[in-house]
Structure 1
Amino acid sequence: MNRTIRTVEDLLVLLDGLFPPAEPFWDRFYADRSAERPFFTPAPDENLVSYLDRGLLPGAPGRALDLGCGAGRNAIHLASLGFDVDAVDLSSSALAWAAERAREAGIGAGPRFHRASVFDAELPHARYDLVYDSGCLHHLPPHRRVSYLALLDRVLAPGGHFAVTAFAAGAMGSERPDEELYRLGTLEGGLAYSPDELRSLFREFTPLEIRPMAAQDTGSDRFGVPFLLTALFQKAPSL
Structure 2
Amino acid sequence: MKYMENIVLRGEKISFSYDGVKVLKDCSFSVGNRDFAAVVGSNGAGKSTLLKICLGLLKPDQGNIWLFENSIDKFEEWDKIGYVPQRIMNLNLGFPATVEEVVSAPLHTSKKLKNLTKNEKKNLTDKSLEAVGMSQYRNRLIGRLSAGQQQRIFIAKALVSSPQLLFLDEPTTGIDNKTEEDFYKLIYKLNKDDGITIVMVTHDYTDIKSMVNRVIQISDGGISDKIHKDEDGDKK
- TM over 0.5, yes or no? no
Q: Could you tell me the TM-score, scaled by structure 1's length?
A: 0.28
- Give 1 or 2: higher strand fraction: 2
